[in-house]
Amino acid sequence: MKFKPRKSRYLVLRKGKILPHVDLKIQGEDIPRIIDNPIKCLGKWFDATLKDKEAINQLQVSLSQNLKTIDKTGLPGKFKVWIYQHSLLPRLSWPLMLYEVPTSTAESLERQINKHIRKWFGLPQCFTSLGLYTATGELQLPVSSLVEEFKVSKARLLMTLKDSPDECIRGAGIELRTGRKWSVSQAVESAESRLRHADIVGTTTVGHLGLGVVERKRYSTSSRQDRRSMIQAEIRKGEEERRMAQLVQMGSQGASTKWNLPERKLNWSDIWQMEPVRISFLLRSVYDVLPTPGNLHRWKLIDDPSCTLCGKRGTLEHVLISCSIALSQGRYRWRHDRVLRQLADTIERERK
């Protein structure tokens, strides 16, 4: 084995202070000081401060610049969201996992992302971010939350260190700091307790399913890799429960949680075939942020919230399906006939 001084760094501390005027040599060659030459190892930068503050600041600046670059591409908004989901987000996951990023910082980064995603989808700024990332709501988008990926990556790192085959790593007592708002160690312990409780309860069936139809993995008998995946899935489930709890508390935009309709999950193939205006209308109609008379009155843009046709309060439900004057004039029938005409034209074109 040959020692390479140029790939090494040194730092001299005396009484807690850095001594800058110390030169170290080996084999007649100077070893670079980490003060002048920060080093990168496994994607993480190390400098003389031995802290991650500068790296976190660079991460924030890089995210802002990348979002602006994506915004200036001139592509349609749905393509910009796709670039974020499949290019920018994976590049953020690694530094978020390695550096000691507080949860509040991850949330501030997600707020920047939410602002651009709303713009790219043609949504108003009042549109809740819960509607962008929900996985169990009435309308589900193929977009991931940065905070959720941050928490899952921290849990993955903790489980990797905890279940390492190397005894020295397991006993090193490495602590992952994520701020005071959320603790990764407590989240992993909670997920493990929920999985152990599920093992005690056993396999349950829903509806008319018979015994043994549903199979599930048991946490106690799973391998290390499976346990790691199950804990990550449990943390994602907890984040979704938190989102739905917040959405239920919202009077207007959370009204969709009371619908008795089948869920609709959009994938990227569906989004490619939809016009941008249709995507915007679909999202705004589900979460009730369309410019109805009731919403315009609540936003203090008009004085009267009444419907211009019948005089009743112009809510979203009233405008779309419940106005008696629109029904008597055949407006709803005209709208349905337009849909049927498009279907008939498509079927006839395929038949020929």
Domain ranges in the chain are 5-46, 54-201+219-270, 291-351
CA distance 2 to 25: 15
CA distance 143 to 110: 12
- The pLDDT of residue 70 is 96
Nearest residue to 40 (alpha-carbon basis) of 25, 54, 30: 54
Q: Which residue has the higher pLDDT, 170 or 155?
A: 155
What digits encode the pLDDT tens for the residues 320-351? 888 888 888 888 888 888 889 989 999 999 99
- DSSP labels, 29-94: EEPPBTTTS-EEETTEEE-TT-SSHHHHHHHHHHHHHHHHHHHTT---HHHHHHHIIIIIHHHHHH
DSSP 8-state code for residue 257: G
CA 70 to chain CA centroid, Å, is 18
What digits encode the pLDDT tens for the residues 68-127? 999 999 899 999 999 999 999 999 999 999 999 999 999 999 999 999 999 999 999 999
Whole-prediction pTM = 0.85
- The pLDDT of residue 339 is 87
DSSP 8-state code for residue 178: -
Position 218 pLDDT exceeds 90:
no
What digits encode the pLDDT tens for the residues 40-64? 887 888 888 888 888 899 999 999 9
Q: What residue has token string 């990227």?
A: 268
- The pLDDT of residue 269 is 93
CA distance 295 to 304: 11
- The pLDDT of residue 1 is 58
- Widest Cα–Cα separation across the chain: 96
Sorted by sequence, the CB contacts under 8 Å of residue 97 that are 6+ apart come out as 150, 153, 154, 156, 157
CA 23 to chain CA centroid, Å, is 48
Task: Write the CA distances from 163 to 209, 222, 254, integer angstroms.
Answer: 37, 13, 41
pLDDT cut 70: percent of the chain above it: 99
Query: For the chain, how many residues are written?
Result: 352
CA distance 182 to 159: 17
Position 27 pLDDT exceeds 90:
no
What digits encode the pLDDT tens for the residues 249-262? 988 888 888 888 88
